[in-house]
Structure 1
Amino acid sequence: MELRFANDPHRMNWLRPDYPYAKVSLPEPFENPGGAPKLDAQVSTTFVGDELRTEITLTNLSDRPFFTRVDDIGISLPLEDRYDDPQAIGTRRCNAQVFCGGSSSFVLALRMGGEAPHLGLVLTEGSLSAYSIERDATRESNDRGCFILHPSPLVLEPGEQTRVSWSIFPCLDKKDFFVQAGRRSRFVRAEWDRHVLFVGETARLRIEASFPPSQVTVNGVPAQREPDGSFTVEFDVNEPGEREMVVRAGDRTVHTRILVKDRFDDVLERRCDFIARHQQYDGSIDNLRGAFLTYDNEEDHRYYNHVNDYNGGRERVGMGILLAQYLCAVRDGIIEVTDRLVPLLVRESLDKYAAYVRRELIDEESGTSFNDMGRDGSYKRLYNAPWYASFFLELHRLDGNPEDVVVAYRIIARFYEEGGGRFYPIEHPISALMNALEALGLPSELAAARENFVRHADAIATVGTLYPPSEVNYEQSIVAPAADILLQVYLLTGEEKFLKAAREQIKILDQFNGVQPDYHLREVAVRHWDGHWFGKRRTYGDTFPHYWSALTGNVFSAYAAIANDPEYARRADASLRGVLPLIFDDGRAACAYVYPLLINGQRAQYFDPYANDQDWALVFTLRSLHR
């Protein structure tokens, strides 16, 4: 089956051909495994112009009441959300944002290149409670797989029927999607002003229905009717934890979730304390002494493996950057300290880590960065260098030692010598390095760094949206670095061509971010492989959140400041808050939340037990406080 929209110049088929559309899986009977299901499913699909209408009729064939669980029934939705063909990514692939939250469930699939028409799906009958993923693991990070939509649990009398139906249609953008959804269904849109909050803040929920409901309730409490016909409810949040709010408008429901965190200062302090006490190696292995390592929250011990994503280098430097930032924030009065012993402990831990980095991971004279302890450079990875340059710049901001800036400069110079000028590095400290070099009065280094940065931005602008593949063929953390480098070089040079090129990248970046009213999804960028590479469970599947999603928030924040755009500032704040669920209020953390109900039949919906690389989430948040 194919689904193409008439006014699409690229004639994209939105349905991938290797999975069936609207195939219904039914539960086997308990008493006769492998026997015929006691439910019957009939699927009807019709086209009305560009609109595809699908109706699934479920019938209880038995002579007893039939109760279902959420994972008993699955309906396949094979959208083209994959990074398999570089030539097709911009025009014939999509980022699918799935919301299974009751009778106003929906899917918004945005073409990766940002060009309309996009695809919208809105439920017209029935209710959905979750989705699962079926994917081919041999394709590793480059294929999100097939979506399996799960109807909400049912109770059917003998012979009783019920239906799950939806409409699929073209739309222009996110705003137009919600307009179109309201035209095709009794749609209820629930929008929080914040989805991740801190204790003491107020959450405001706005509800719009495409029909005139006599009353709207939220967890049974009537909402306030506004003059424009919408409804609102405000909540004062004084206790941390997840809150699920069920919106009811007539016969329609929306299940929406927010998360309340403890005070940010307390979360930060406990996390830094945990890192210093539990994630720094202090054993008998000389090469590892002082390293920050992965922590297994199930078994309560540190873990090391020379395999890249669990070793003593790479992304783990985020812990070192965080501790340096924390001490700067304490010194500058940006955060309030509860336990005065924590900054002392963190200072001692940071000194040990800095000694480890200088000894094992960085050649300070040449600027060479290594992949693991023992100055192991057997695996060359350009991502590492900018992170360690950032670490030395944070040490300089903390202690004022000029040599740390020189080391950072050498690391970046070596990065460019090794081909960095055509690479898309995550977290490139352009502005921080230029400001530090200028403050120290190092004109030759300043000129050389500027030349490298400008040449790099020119190369990215020339490539545009024809991105080169990296560790993943295409991803949000290729687009975000492109936008970030262009914005930083625009601030460095004032040349409008870089700002124009950055806007092109921001348009693409926007296609990844979710619009769903759930703190796992709202303004969280689509990523679907990090749980495998960094987690204990080694599971592929949607990670909502994963901390690199906040790269989008960093870009939005920088752009908001340049353009004086309050909407981008609001979205930046939401994106940065969106990754904080990975940092637990007791000081522990998780490298990813694997969101789908099932992945290839295995239960998911869990925070991975490994605290590994997620502390960049707090790095981003602290940076936003300094702005």
Structure 2
Amino acid sequence: MEEFVLQNDPARMNWVEGYIEWGTVRCAAPLRVETEQVREGDILRERYTFINETNREVFTKLTDIAIYATFNDDYTTARECMHHKCHTHIWCGGAVSYVMALRMGGAAPHLGLVLTEGALGGYSVERDLSRISNDRGDFLLHPAPFVLAPGERYTLAWTLFPHAGRASFLNTAKQYCAHFIDVRAEKYLLFTGEETTVTVDANFAFEHAALTLNGAPQPFTRSGSTLTAKIRAGAPGEMRCAVVLDGVETFCELKALPPLPELAERRCRFIAEKQQSCRPSSGLDGAFLIYDNEEECQFYDPRYDYNAGRERVGMGLALAAYLQKWPDSTLEKALHRYADFVRRELVNPDTGEVYNDYHRDNSYKRLYNAPWYARLYIEFFNLWQKKEYLETACKILRFYYAEGGSRFYPIQMPVAELIPLLRSNGLTIQADALMAEFLHHADYLAAKGTDYPALEVNYEQSIVAPAADILLQAYKLTGVQSYLVSARKQLDVLELFNGIQPSYHLREVAIRHWDGYWFGKRKLYGDTFPHYWSALTGLALRDWGRMTGDVASQQRGEDSLRAVLSLLDADGRAHCAYVYPITVNGASARGADPYANDQDWGLYFALKTL
């Protein structure tokens, strides 16, 4: 199938555009394959049957069979993406598996896929690497491993259907799958000792039910077709909550971590002990550098995302936020050394210029850097109460605007935090000047709406999130209702990046699929579930919820902020990204990248908000 257009779609979007034709089957096992496709209006039913015609049993592995499901998920221009591209949210949950594809602009009709026979065990991607970060690739759905005796058959079947959107997708999917089980948890990332409620809703009557946690039976209560279980987080690690109802098997994925103060302390000590450069004769002295968890060593490279500046500032922010809550002389000494490095090598406190790398190297100019280091100086002030830090933060942002920043989409712009601090410390003139430039910036973003520019990626979650964030900040500073209205329009587009699947990897985690390549050791493209910038959506949802009283948005925001903490290990190690697909262009992928690089932004967010 090369085209699938929904009948009542005024945009006439093709939902199945890919490099390989939809429905192509790759089978490494000695099996014959039969395929069947029946379309009735906007409903498409497909069956893939695998037949053992040999005289021996055939055992399949997860990647032996792949069926191409080429949802049209790539980034061209924002304007085209709004109408003709989709976010593809995949859940390979065994017998209960589905795909929620959402048009990137949010307009219905959208497209869904729900499994009706068989089981899915995972998915892979194949990408056009010449398009670098802008192509998410073709999706390959893998049947869960099975065994066929001679003459036996195994069928995988699904139904494609239109749906109205994220809020109603699961209810629509249930109409096309006679054995749908909706498994969900109150929280997916838990701190030791915390409890979550797991709810299991089936759309069919069943006699026998079982629920296990990492293989151990769990007590539950039952009311009709609904099961409820209380799960308490124990030792750190993944918690797989498996459900079997009359032979229909599925699961949800939870994760336990140490309590946040303990987790943060271990991580901050690891940074100070393992990731701070102690080279008095080097310009890198005091810098926080990448750490290779495989080779047990620091790493630096002047290439952009491995250098001593840019996103690595997240480590400094995490330490500064931690020390404001839990003073520690050893960690504070490390942070002072980092502050000396930043002043010497990365920031000019007289002009406000922020450099891309040490040696005050700005051979590559990057507007993203400025707000991050302004935020760092705000946290220095919060910790050490020296007014000069506020003056430096203000100079950084004034320099940013002088460089054309009012037409940019910066990540983590800290103006709503800085303005009140400037005013309360007698820096009213600076506050007024910055406020005028910031509101000009907010007005520009409001006027642009969803007509986003191409930045380091043609279109992505961390272009939309800054627009929502800045407009929410403008409303917080002014109370002008139009800013809140404009922010809601951004959030309507932003939330479409987030998944609803019952896993700490996916629930309220934004689609990103290039970070493992640019920041990781493995240099693998592919879905990064999670990556810490996913929490930008969580911050925006949380702020919206607090400003409007929307409790559901606040909860979704917390789920997002918690999810990115799974990039931290209980012993203080960390990982820049988790590459989620089973394989990427044939290379084994699923797992956390060995580099501890820039993920501590996620810890910083948690320390500030949770």
* Alignment TM class, shorter chain as reference: over 0.9
Of 275, 282, 289 in structure 1, the residue corresponding to residue 271 of structure 2 is: 275
Of 309, 314, 323 in structure 2, the residue corresponding to residue 313 of structure 1 is: 309
Corresponding position of 2:88: 96
Q: How does 1:511-530 map to 2 (within 5 A)?
A: 511-530=496-515
Displacement of 1:480 in angstroms is 0.6
Q: How does 1:148-227 map to 2 (within 5 A)?
A: 148-185=140-177, 186-219=179-212, 221=217, 224-227=220-223
Q: Is the Cα contact below 8 Å between 1:194 and 1:203 reproduced in 2?
A: yes
Q: How does 1:327-366 map to 2 (within 5 A)?
A: 327-331=323-327, 343-366=328-351
Q: Is the Cα contact below 8 Å between 1:594 and 1:608 reproduced in 2?
A: yes
Q: How does 1:164-563 map to 2 (within 5 A)?
A: 164-185=156-177, 186-219=179-212, 221=217, 224-227=220-223, 229-331=225-327, 343-563=328-548
The residue type equivalent to 1:297 in the other structure is N
The residue type equivalent to 1:235 in the other structure is I
Any idea what SS the aligned residue of 1:147 has?
strand
Any idea what SS the aligned residue of 2:326 has?
helix
Q: Is the Cα contact below 8 Å between 1:203 and 1:234 reproduced in 2?
A: yes
Q: Could you tell me how far apart the structure 2 residues matched to 1:209 and 1:506 are?
A: 31
Q: Is the Cα contact below 8 Å between 2:19 and 2:138 reproduced in 1?
A: no
Displacement of 1:233 in angstroms is 1.1
The residue type equivalent to 1:444 in the other structure is I
Q: Is the Cα contact below 8 Å between 2:117 and 2:158 reproduced in 1?
A: yes
Of 116, 134, 149 in structure 2, the residue corresponding to residue 142 of structure 1 is: 134
Question: Kindly tell me: are residues 6 and 225 of structure 1, through their superposed partners in 2, closer, same or farther at Cα, counting changes over 3 Å?
Answer: farther
Displacement of 1:228 in angstroms is 6.4
Any idea what SS the aligned residue of 1:131 has?
strand
Displacement of 1:261 in angstroms is 0.6
TM-score w.r.t. length of structure 2: 0.98
Of 553, 556, 561 in structure 2, the residue corresponding to residue 576 of structure 1 is: 561
Q: Which segment is superposed worse, 380-389 or 203-212?
A: 203-212
Q: Could you tell me how far apart the structure 2 residues matched to 1:222 and 1:417 are?
A: 60
Corresponding position of 1:32: none
Structure 2: gaps spanning 5 or more residues: none
Q: Could you tell me how far apart the structure 1 residues matched to 2:397 and 2:511 are?
A: 29
Q: Is the Cα contact below 8 Å between 2:81 and 2:105 reproduced in 1?
A: yes
Measured against aligned partners, the alpha-carbon deviations of 1:486-541 in whole angstroms (never above 9, x if no partner) come to 00010111111110000000011110111111111111100000000000010000
Any idea what SS the aligned residue of 2:439 has?
helix
Q: Is the Cα contact below 8 Å between 1:216 and 1:222 reproduced in 2?
A: no
Q: Could you tell me how far apart the structure 1 residues matched to 2:304 and 2:484 are?
A: 35
Q: Could you tell me how far apart the structure 1 residues matched to 2:217 and 2:268 are?
A: 40
Q: Could you tell me how far apart the structure 2 residues matched to 1:452 and 1:49 are?
A: 53
Measured against aligned partners, the alpha-carbon deviations of 1:68-124 in whole angstroms (never above 9, x if no partner) come to 011110000001110024431001111111011101100001111111111110000
Q: Which segment is superposed worse, 118-127 or 226-235?
A: 226-235
Any idea what SS the aligned residue of 1:511 has?
helix
Any idea what SS the aligned residue of 1:174 has?
coil
Displacement of 1:174 in angstroms is 2.0
The residue type equivalent to 1:584 in the other structure is D
The residue type equivalent to 1:91 in the other structure is H
The residue type equivalent to 2:148 in the other structure is L
Displacement of 1:417 in angstroms is 0.4
Q: Could you tell me how far apart the structure 1 residues matched to 2:85 and 2:595 are?
A: 32
Displacement of 1:284 in angstroms is 4.9
Measured against aligned partners, the alpha-carbon deviations of 1:265-316 in whole angstroms (never above 9, x if no partner) come to 1110000001001101012542111111000110111101011100010000
Displacement of 1:252 in angstroms is 1.6
Displacement of 1:345 in angstroms is 1.3
Displacement of 1:45 in angstroms is 1.1
The residue type equivalent to 2:519 in the other structure is F
Q: Is the Cα contact below 8 Å between 1:531 and 1:592 reproduced in 2?
A: yes
Counterpart check, 1:54 vs 2:39 = no
Q: Could you tell me how far apart the structure 1 residues matched to 2:408 and 2:294 are?
A: 37
The residue type equivalent to 1:24 in the other structure is V
Any idea what SS the aligned residue of 1:139 has?
helix
Q: Could you tell me how far apart the structure 2 residues matched to 1:289 and 1:365 are?
A: 22
The residue type equivalent to 2:273 in the other structure is R
Q: Is the Cα contact below 8 Å between 1:371 and 1:377 reproduced in 2?
A: yes
Displacement of 1:470 in angstroms is 0.7
Q: Could you tell me how far apart the structure 2 residues matched to 1:387 and 1:522 are?
A: 27
Q: Could you tell me how far apart the structure 2 residues matched to 1:206 and 1:535 are?
A: 36
Q: Could you tell me how far apart the structure 1 residues matched to 2:437 and 2:4 are?
A: 46
Q: How does 1:23-172 map to 2 (within 5 A)?
A: 23-27=24-28, 38-172=30-164
Q: Is the Cα contact below 8 Å between 1:216 and 1:223 reproduced in 2?
A: no
Q: Could you tell me how far apart the structure 1 residues matched to 2:217 and 2:384 are?
A: 54
Q: Could you tell me how far apart the structure 1 residues matched to 2:416 and 2:76 are?
A: 35
Measured against aligned partners, the alpha-carbon deviations of 1:27-61 in whole angstroms (never above 9, x if no partner) come to 15xxxxxxxxx201111111111111110011012
Q: Which segment is superposed worse, 18-27 or 588-597?
A: 18-27
Corresponding position of 2:9: 8
Displacement of 1:245 in angstroms is 1.7
Displacement of 1:251 in angstroms is 3.0
Q: Is the Cα contact below 8 Å between 2:103 and 2:110 reproduced in 1?
A: yes
The residue type equivalent to 1:551 in the other structure is L
Give me the identity figure in percent. Answer: 45
Measured against aligned partners, the alpha-carbon deviations of 1:207-260 in whole angstroms (never above 9, x if no partner) come to 111111123321274764554642111122222111112111123211221101
Report the aligned-residue RMSD: 1.2
The residue type equivalent to 1:191 in the other structure is R
TM-score w.r.t. length of structure 1: 0.95
Measured against aligned partners, the alpha-carbon deviations of 1:107-155 in whole angstroms (never above 9, x if no partner) come to 0011111111111100000000010001111110001000000001110
Any idea what SS the aligned residue of 2:506 has?
coil
Displacement of 1:18 in angstroms is 2.5
Any idea what SS the aligned residue of 1:579 has?
helix
Q: Could you tell me how far apart the structure 2 residues matched to 1:350 and 1:221 are?
A: 47
Displacement of 1:19 in angstroms is 1.9
Q: Could you tell me how far apart the structure 1 residues matched to 2:44 and 2:190 are?
A: 39
The residue type equivalent to 2:21 in the other structure is P
